[in-house]
Amino acid sequence: MSEKNTKILRRDFLKAASRLIPGGLLFIMAPGTQALLAAVEGKEYDPSEHNYAMGVDIHKCIGCGRCADACKKENDVPREPTFFRTWVERYAIPSEGEARVDSPNGGIDGFPEVKDDRDIMRSFFVPKLCNHCTNAPCVQVCPVGATFTSPDGVVLVDREYCVGCRYCIQACPYGARYLHPEEHVADKCTFCYHRIREGLLPACVEVCPTKARVFGEVGQRSSPMHRFLRLNDVTVLKSWLNTKPKVYYAGADGEVR
């Protein structure tokens, strides 16, 4: 996140947070965290008035990898094929045995042709990212409070306070975090927080040619997310963990993990 998007007066954050917690009691948060909840310079933004989520329609994903590429460019993610905020996996379901899953370079360069597909019954693509869980394990294990959930439902990392202990990386059941090789802090998808605070869509949503990704407000009837949740039979990944993810999938069956 750029410096211009992280400047805020402390009182603005305290005012918003006090409306969320009974009695105005504040939760413990890293010293620099309120800066990440800032209004863009000169603009008002009240995070307590929003509740963001993302929807993914697997039927529409063509595995082009544009989302993963746009994410790297927008968020300065290292170009090495081991660092991703979002990526695309290909599932190949054989007639017998477990699903075969691959994701070469996160899907950015496309997927190689399957040479022997005689036993493959079907295949499909599944975009993956941080699930911005309501009960986020990464938030629970962070020893210094650098990983936190913002009032608008986005799980963020305070880079200035993160000590790079990797606890959150190990705790994430979705493999959505990595240690930045240069900054040595935990990094992950933020729903392009710097963009959504300005009323823009996350980069991955904006570039998707088939509209396989949907982003918006939960509980707001005018939001694309409200329509997505109403018209689709949605599931979340690893629901049995009770992490309560906020990334909802349409068209995902038991093979997707």
Higher pLDDT, 26 or 250: 250
Q: Please state, in angstroms and rounded to a whole number, the distance separating the CA atoms of residues 195 and 190.
A: 10
pLDDT of residue 37: 52
Q: State the pTM of this model.
A: 0.82
Neighbour-count burial for 162-184, b at 16+ CB within 10 Å, e otherwise: beeeebbbebbebebbbbbeeee
| 72 domain-assigned | yes
What size, in residues, is the chain?
257
10 Å CB burial of residue 120 (0-12, 13-18, 19+) is middle
Mean pLDDT of 195-199: 94
> Please, which pLDDT band fits residue 114 given cuts at 50, 70 and 90?
confident
> Please, which pLDDT band fits residue 23 given cuts at 50, 70 and 90?
very low
119-141: per-residue pLDDT in tens?
Answer: 889 999 999 999 999 999 999 99
Residue for token pair 């975090």 = 177
Q: Which of 19-28, 166-175, 236-245 has the lowest mean pLDDT?
A: 19-28
| 56 domain-assigned | yes
At position 151, the amino acid (one-letter code) is P
Which CATH number goes with the domain that contains 70?
3.30.70.20
| 3 domain-assigned | no
pLDDT of residue 69: 98
Expressed as residue numbers, the domain containing 232 is 42-257
| 200 domain-assigned | yes
Q: What total of structural domains would you count in the chain?
A: 1
Query: Is the pLDDT score of 5 beyond 60?
Result: no
Query: Is the pLDDT score of 8 beyond 70?
Result: no
Give backbone dihedrals phi and psi of 224, rounded to 5 degrees, phi first: -60, -30
pLDDT of residue 12: 47
SS3 74: helix
Query: Is the pLDDT score of 11 beyond 70?
Result: no
